[in-house]
Amino acid sequence: MSNKIPRGIASQHIVAAIRDLDRGVRHGFGESTGYDVLFEGRRYAPKAVVGLAARKLTGVLLGPYDFKGGLKSACFRVLENNGFTIITKGETSPFPDEVSDSDRHVEGAVQRISVNRFERDPEARARAIRHYGSRCLACGFDFRLAYGTLGEGFIHVHHTVPLAQIGKSYIVDPVDDLRPVCPNCHAMLHKRTPPYTIDELREFMEAANPGVQRTPARGRR
Ligand SMILES: [Zn+2]
Ligand SMILES: [Zn+2]
């Protein structure tokens, strides 16, 4: 296979290509098989990104047979040289905000629903934090106490409703369905699908370090 990737693809071309993919632009590339490009917590097929990035640079869209993908390919080199992270399909990224598209969509729903959408929705997040506070409900970690003004207002928000229960008409209830947790606890909750509950996580912590004083979780969990 020849390599028709033009020289000079820069990160702005790659970001613009990713924005195109977000908008659902048409292209001839299939789903990625072994690897994904990680960007802003989302995964993209590397060849589709580079094929579209080439068009941003030259005006000509490359097709799937114009270049190879995979490890040590020119395609991956373009992405890596521009500072993008490529991860394997199976690899779960350290933070649940970065779970793959296939993990966070409800298959079979008329509209594919991103669960992380609920964890990121600023309005719902704010209401959950107003209700529960911004400390981690599992371990009590408080970013404001640990990092001062830098940590102020920082917390992840975990969405507790199982995927199977989410239908098309589901509307997030910030108090019933969301819980502020620190990124460490959030990652631990998502070590299993469906996620552990916050109570279960606290049981793990208590078993590992009995008697350690943790700030009790507030409210229902
Ligand atoms: Zn925590
Ligand atoms: Zn979560």
Amino acid at position 96, single letter: P
The model's pTM: 0.51
User: How many angstroms is it from 101 CA to the middle of ligand 1?
Assistant: 25
- From the CA of 217, the nearest ligand is 1
Chain mean pLDDT for the chain: 81
Q: Is 213 within the bounds of a domain?
A: no
Q: Are residues 175 and 106 in the same domain?
A: yes
Note the pLDDT tens digit of each residue in 121-146: 778 888 999 999 999 999 999 999 99
Q: Is 221 within the bounds of a domain?
A: no
Q: How many CB atoms lie within 10 A of CB 26?
A: 6
User: How many angstroms is it from 69 CA to the middle of ligand 1?
Assistant: 39
The dihedral built from the CA positions of residue 29, 30, 35 and 39, taken in this order, carries a sign that is positive
Residue 98 pLDDT more than 70? no
Q: Between the CA atoms of 54, 56, 61 and 67, what dihedral angle is there, to the nearest 10 degrees? A: 10
User: How many angstroms is it from 108 CA to the middle of ligand 1?
Assistant: 33
Q: Are residues 47 and 71 in the same domain?
A: yes
Residue 92's nearest CA partner among 75, 104, 84 is: 104
pLDDT tier at 112, thresholds 50, 70, 90:
very low
Note the pLDDT tens digit of each residue in 197-220: 999 999 999 999 998 888 756 554
User: How many angstroms is it from 29 CA to the middle of ligand 1?
Assistant: 40
User: Can you give the residue range of the structural domain that contains 57?
Assistant: 11-91
Q: Between the CA atoms of 52, 54, 60 and 63, what dihedral angle is there, to the nearest 10 degrees? A: -60
How many domains does one find in the chain? 2
User: How many angstroms is it from 192 CA to the middle of ligand 2?
Assistant: 11
Residue 31 pLDDT more than 80? yes
What per-residue confidence (pLDDT) applies to 27? 87
Strand partners, 157: 180
